[in-house]
Chain A
Amino acid sequence: MTDGMIRKAGVFEIVNHWAMSITFLVLGATGFGFLFHMEKMNVIFGDFNRMRTVHNWFGVAFSVLVLFKIVLYLPHVLSFDGDDVRWLLQGGGYLSKNAVVPPQGKLNAGQKLFAAVIIVAGVAMAASGFIIWLMPGVKRWLLLSQLAHNVSFDLLVFAIPIHIYLASLASPGSARIMLSGTVPLAWARKRHAKWVAALESKAAVE
């Protein structure tokens, strides 16, 4: 393998990521609108009835994207290992300038954790959202869904700004993964040693 660029994310993964970020922005903004009765939102949506329609249909799109997310990332989440535990215990090396962290796979432990949060909160959001929308008849379910929807909301509005920060300012060179999909090999070897090693041994066999 030459010392050039290496593909870290495919086109489908990148499109899914940005599509999801758009649904997240719309759903989050309208979600805050419902939560705090922000009548200013009417400037954009006209009234709360229309805002509800937008929220629901973006929710449908979000749910489909969550399904893709599961297909794309669940295998990574399930590959969580001892190195990942140690990586997390060291705060991923983000707590000091000279930290040396355990070698990581294609996703580091923090990214696996974030993918897990998106999958769990995303599924809870989608399921509870559909229950509130389509079957509000059973009160126990309605209350449970309202609770699940709001717990997931809190989780996501906390996790996503941190994700944005860690994937941009905190880690120069990361943002391009979700733009071009490729990273310099040296950069990848440094941060995802196990992944690059596996690729290289595979290439050697072939």
Chain B
Amino acid sequence: MAETRRKAILISPESCIGCRGCQTACKAWNQLPGQKTGDPANFQNPPDLAPTAFNLIRYIEMPGDAGQLRWLFVSRRCMHCGDAGCMKICTAPGALSRTKEGAVVYDQDKCIGCKLCSASCPFDVPRFDGRDKVVKCHQCHDRTAEGFLPACAKTCPTGAIRFGDRGELIATAKKAGYEKLYGETDLEGLGTLYAFRETPKTYGMIENPAVPESVVFWHRVLKPLSVIGTGAAVALSLIHYIAVPPKRDEEVKRDD
């Protein structure tokens, strides 16, 4: 991946006011219908990512200073991982691919709906529509390719969601006093970065995200072994045939 071109989204929960303009803009651009969700326990709605919700503001309530309520707003969406578990496990060529900006995008015509990507994603992102085809945030690649901002970043009134050159975003955040961004190095760098003041856990994010071990083992060992194994079986058979030719029937009879 050409690091110089790689784009990213930088999310700063401390600047987010929870207006959910991004959720609405995402729906508008991607022409996603609303979703009936019942009585939400808090303001978070829908409760989780959905086939009709690629981007979601999570509302986290916790005790704050002097007995006050502390309210955090954290955007959740596809992280556009540098080392993407979804792409690694995908069975259909072209169903998931990476744009030159570094976004992980999908092609529903190519997707065969096996849903393995949902198991291999460390962030539980891929969702499936009515036809069992993958859907998720695609970093508005259809907008960014034309030089426009992703719908969410375009709409955000506070700068809590920013889109730009990945390297520059990191540099700006560092200047603003963030020592290390979430996603700066995890999984060969995430395409969705977070500027956290406290531990990722406070913001409901997993520490040290990783592609599941079984998927890594499959990719590194089992997959090449299938070819090596077949080749070895054929080669061993040939070598054996030459080295220890079969006993012919006369010999069998002579032994009797």
Q: Give every chain B residue within 8 A of A39 (Cβ-Cβ).
A: 93
Chain A residue nearest in CB terms to B132: A136
Q: How many residues of B contact A (CB 8 A)?
A: 43
CB < 8 Å: which of B110, B116, B119, B229 contacts A154? B229
Q: Are B214 and A147 in contact (CB under 8 A)?
A: yes
Q: Are B225 and A154 in contact (CB under 8 A)?
A: yes
Per-residue contact bits, chain A 88-126, to B (CB 8 Å; 1 contact, 0 not): 000000111100000000000000000000000000000
A31–B255 alpha-carbon span in the complex (Å) = 45
Q: Are B218 and A150 in contact (CB under 8 A)?
A: yes
Indicate whether A146 sits within 8 Å of B233 (C-beta atoms), given known contacts A39-B93, A186-B253, A187-B252.
Answer: no
18 sample A-B contacts, Cβ–Cβ < 8 Å, listed by A number: A34-B92, A48-B91, A52-B114, A97-B245, A142-B118, A143-B119, A144-B214, A146-B89, A146-B116, A147-B214, A147-B222, A150-B226, A153-B222, A154-B225, A158-B230, A162-B237, A169-B237, A186-B252
Chain B contacts to A: CB under 8 angstroms: 89, 91-93, 95, 110, 112-116, 118-120, 124, 212, 214-215, 217-218, 222-223, 225-226, 229-230, 232-234, 236-237, 240-241, 244-249, 252-253, 255-256
- Other A-B pairs, 18, CB within 8 Å; known A172-B247, A172-B248, A186-B252: A39-B93, A48-B92, A51-B112, A52-B112, A94-B240, A97-B247, A132-B114, A143-B212, A146-B89, A146-B116, A146-B218, A150-B218, A154-B222, A157-B233, A158-B229, A158-B232, A171-B246, A190-B255
Closest CB pairs A-B (n = 7): A165-B237, A37-B93, A158-B229, A161-B233, A136-B115, A142-B119, A34-B91
